[in-house]
Structure 1
Amino acid sequence: MNITEYFRSNNVDAESIELIVTIPTYKRPQQLKLTLQSLVNQTIDKKFAVIVMDNHEGAEGAQSAKSFMTSADLNGADLNGADLNGIVILAHDRGNCHAYNAGWKTALLEFKNFRYLAVIDDDEVADPRWLEELVNTAEIFGTDLVGGPQIQQFKAEAHNVWKRHPVFLPHYERTEPVPILYSSGNVLISRHVLEHMPSPHLDPMFNFIGGGDSDFYSRCKREGFTFAWCNSAQVLEDVPSQRATFKWVNARSLRNGSISSIIDTKRSRNRLKTLAKSLVLLGISPFRSAISAIKNRSIVIGLYHVQVAIGRLLAEIGVINEQYRNPENK
């Protein structure tokens, strides 16, 4: 794994760190500072450290993180960035999964006593009680992984239909144990999960299509690890204008179907079985879409089931949209 340490804050006391927060970043230097500031504002009384993984050769994110951690000023505002314990690394192998793997490997090597590792994306801002709520939920339910909602923040001009579309909505609505998680943009993982699961944790085959997190959770479930959802552990995520369009939502829906097919094939190791499932889902998808369209009073929302089914079938013939190939457009 090709990793270079770019910066380490002076106040990193590895032995006393109980929590790690990892942040993969790619060409979002200003948004990253807002993410880091939301971590400064956390109310949790446990000591935590931040690991920023920059996956772009220009290292804009690494420079931004270093600037934040060594300065208390952004546009004249006092950010107390120097209060963060942190390490900034360069993950030189391009790809979403490589960035995550670099951060998780660094956490295991550098911090011998942490109990939990959390993940937040570089376009998200955490609620002040985010970490506290995730940890409390893990300990209350005794689960190994805990997810939380990514609350989408749309531009004022965004049509209301996108705010209700499945690609933008959290998978669960209540704090409770759940069968599985799907997203890594807001998650807490127990250390023993990372120690048990083989490295690399996220399969690089998902680097540019996404879904490495869903595949990881699927493998964790097969190993007997348990999951919970914490509805109060919220992060706010900006939705760029280009995402609130039919073109982007259609691409994401097709991609979701492709990922589902790929994970099914990996799990069953039976291509014909996955193909049969994809054909069945395609056959019933018009009926599911019609019911959804009527229920939601939206043809666009109703189309989701058909789009996912088509995406599954496209994956069977090797046609997959690599939305993460150009992350600035994802």
Structure 2
Amino acid sequence: MAEFLISIATYKRPDLLADLLRSLEPEVAGEDVRIVVVDNHAEGTAREVCETSPLDIDYIVEPRPGIAAARNRGLDRVAADDRFLIFVDDDERVHPGWLRALADAQRQYDADVISGPVISVLPADAPAWIARGGFIQRARFRTGDPSLSPATNNTLVRLDYLRSLGSPRFDESFSMTGGSDTAFFRALRAAGARMIWCDEAVVDEDVPVERANLAWIWRRGIREGNVSGRMLLREKSRPAVVVAGLARIGYGVAAVGRDVVLQRGVQARSAAYITRGIGWIGASRGRLVTEYARPTESVEG
């Protein structure tokens, strides 16, 4: 039905979603594009934004709570002759030329997965140590380099490749902790997917004030450790993961100490060893950070 299917999962962010849709308007003009918005709020809080947008949007509500359920509902809307699936988040804005950059890179490198940079725009009053230490900001690479950790925040996937794998789904046991996209793309990599970076396909993401602080960054680091720890447990025993976690914590403490002694300030790369180690141990014990849990919902897995 289309060259590109853009899939957007959203939950109670109508204003941010409206910004994203406005940024997409010039990108899809004249292109063979379908847009699917999956609203994960049962009351349909994104309906008005989608219905008033000049874009032709396939708007659906997925009442089952959880980001993985919403992503899977988006997969349900893939048609047999759609060629490429593109994921973007509802709190982002795409840069001019974003769609063409993804498409051109896919053709040039004959890749199964193309991902691009997400630029975290910090609040004006964010503590200086966040930017100085590389916290929150994501790494960038040269176009054509391997894409090391694709996510659903700015990624194109060749649908023929997904179909050749039996059309895999997002693991809904990660819905409340996050990480279903990490597990999804890790499985594609294990299956031999060619994953490439495109540095010209840029999106912006405003960092909310409530995230520009130590408590949120620390919690996020542990949550990411939980995710990788849960996947590691599929290959290793619980004691082995605990020991590996303790080793990472020890290394991280030493690395942070070195940063301080050398007057670099605490660096995200060093601190990540600590939070990942804690996250691995938590995963081994079933103690998970449920960042996306809702008051009446529980987590399995």
List 4+ stretches of structure 1 deviating above 6 A: none
User: Residue 245 of structure 2 corresponds to which residue in structure 1?
Assistant: 278
User: Residue 201 of structure 1 corresponds to which residue in structure 2?
Assistant: 169
> How far off is 1:287 after superposition?
2.2
* 8 A Cα contact 1:180 1:218, kept in partner: no
User: Residue 87 of structure 1 corresponds to which residue in structure 2?
Assistant: 58
User: Residue 62 of structure 1 corresponds to which residue in structure 2?
Assistant: 47
Q: Deviations over 1:143-195 (max 9, x none)?
A: 11111111111221112222345552223322123153242111111102332
- C-alpha distance 243-131 of structure 1, shift in aligned 2 (>3 A): same
1:154 corresponds to 2:122: yes
Q: CA–CA distance in 1 between the matches of 2:254 and 2:118? A: 29
> How far off is 1:200 after superposition?
5.6
- C-alpha distance 198-294 of structure 1, shift in aligned 2 (>3 A): farther
- C-alpha distance 271-192 of structure 1, shift in aligned 2 (>3 A): farther
2:250 maps to a residue whose letter is: G
Secondary structure of the structure 2 residue equivalent to 1:255:
helix
RMSD: 2.2
User: Residue 3 of structure 1 corresponds to which residue in structure 2?
Assistant: none
User: Residue 308 of structure 1 corresponds to which residue in structure 2?
Assistant: 276
- C-alpha distance 224-292 of structure 1, shift in aligned 2 (>3 A): farther
User: Residue 143 of structure 1 corresponds to which residue in structure 2?
Assistant: 111
User: Residue 36 of structure 1 corresponds to which residue in structure 2?
Assistant: 21
Secondary structure of the structure 2 residue equivalent to 1:289:
helix
TM-score w.r.t. length of structure 1: 0.82
Range with bigger deviation, 288-297 or 87-96: 288-297
Secondary structure of the structure 2 residue equivalent to 1:183:
coil
Secondary structure of the structure 2 residue equivalent to 1:303:
helix
* 8 A Cα contact 2:114 2:155, kept in partner: yes
* 8 A Cα contact 2:133 2:266, kept in partner: no
Q: Deviations over 1:88-125 (max 9, x none)?
A: 01112110000001001212xxx332211111111100
* 8 A Cα contact 2:114 2:147, kept in partner: no
Secondary structure of the structure 1 residue equivalent to 2:170:
coil
> How far off is 1:299 after superposition?
2.7
* 8 A Cα contact 2:136 2:217, kept in partner: no
* 8 A Cα contact 1:44 1:132, kept in partner: no
- C-alpha distance 163-65 of structure 1, shift in aligned 2 (>3 A): farther
Q: CA–CA distance in 1 between the matches of 2:263 and 2:63? A: 44
Of the three residues 237, 261, 264, the one matched with 1:297 is 264
Range with bigger deviation, 17-26 or 309-318: 309-318
Q: CA–CA distance in 2 between the matches of 1:295 and 1:193? A: 48
- C-alpha distance 179-26 of structure 1, shift in aligned 2 (>3 A): closer
- C-alpha distance 122-179 of structure 1, shift in aligned 2 (>3 A): closer
Q: Percent identity?
A: 26
Q: Which runs of 5+ in 2 are unaligned?
A: 296-301
* 8 A Cα contact 2:259 2:267, kept in partner: no
Of the three residues 40, 52, 57, the one matched with 2:37 is 52
* 8 A Cα contact 1:293 1:300, kept in partner: no
> How far off is 1:60 after superposition?
0.7
Secondary structure of the structure 1 residue equivalent to 2:85:
strand
User: Residue 260 of structure 1 corresponds to which residue in structure 2?
Assistant: 228
> How far off is 1:292 after superposition?
4.7
Superposed, 1:69-148 pairs within 5 Å as: 81=54, 84-107=55-78, 111-148=79-116
Range with bigger deviation, 40-49 or 92-101: 40-49
Superposed, 1:188-227 pairs within 5 Å as: 188-198=156-166, 201-227=169-195
* 8 A Cα contact 2:250 2:274, kept in partner: no
TM-score w.r.t. length of structure 2: 0.90
User: Residue 77 of structure 1 corresponds to which residue in structure 2?
Assistant: none
> How far off is 1:129 after superposition?
0.9
Q: Which runs of 5+ in 1 are unaligned?
A: 1-14, 69-80
